[in-house]
């Protein structure tokens, strides 16, 4: 499971620090998870003028990532099942909660992130034992 910053490194910036992740996604040894919320955030971020992506580059980046990711259905907002929402709360950046909830609900082993608010939760995630939060450089395949 990848956050938006890592996806940008893969698709827009061609960051060599995520080359192993890209190879894993391309050859199918790594599986990314997405839902409507995470894809929408990626779509919006790709359109930021400071990234300099024209419409074709935005579409190519979104298509590349969506084509290598498994789509996970959203639970209803009023879903009472405890497994539908991650008990970890991203209070530093509530917009990042969607990544925690998706990783929790979908059974991800890893949430690979460059986001400081998410990385600050790495120890708490380790205590829960459901998934690890790591920076790209700390991902074992890197």
Q: Calculate the alpha carbon distances from 137 to 6, 18, 36, 65, 112 in Å.
A: 11, 8, 27, 20, 9
Is residue 89 pLDDT above 70, yes or no? no
Is residue 41 pLDDT above 70, yes or no? yes
Model confidence at 92, in pLDDT bands (50, 70, 90)? low
Q: What is the pTM of this model?
A: 0.88
pLDDT score recorded for residue 125:
82
Is residue 86 pLDDT above 60, yes or no? no
Assigned token pair, 120: 């600050």
Domains along the chain with CATH numbers = 4-138 (3.40.50)
pLDDT score recorded for residue 8:
98
């Amino acid at each position: 499971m990848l956050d938006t910053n890592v996806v940008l490194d893969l698709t827009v910036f061609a960051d060599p620090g995520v080359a192993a992740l890209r190879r894993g996604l391309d050859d199918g040894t790594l599986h990314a998870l997405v839902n409507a919320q995470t894809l929408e955030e990626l779509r919006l971020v790709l359109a930021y003028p400071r990234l300099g992506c024209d419409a074709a580059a935005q579409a190519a980046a979104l298509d590349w990532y969506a084509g290598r990711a498994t789509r996970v259905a959203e639970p209803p907002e009023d879903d009472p099942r405890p497994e539908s929402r991650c008990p970890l709360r991203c209070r530093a950046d509530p917009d990042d909660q969607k990544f925690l909830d998706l990783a929790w609900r979908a059974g991800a082993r890893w949430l690979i992130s460059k986001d400081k608010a998410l990385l600050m939760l790495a120890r708490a995630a380790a205590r829960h034992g459901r998934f690890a939060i790591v920076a790209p450089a700390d991902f074992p395949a890197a």
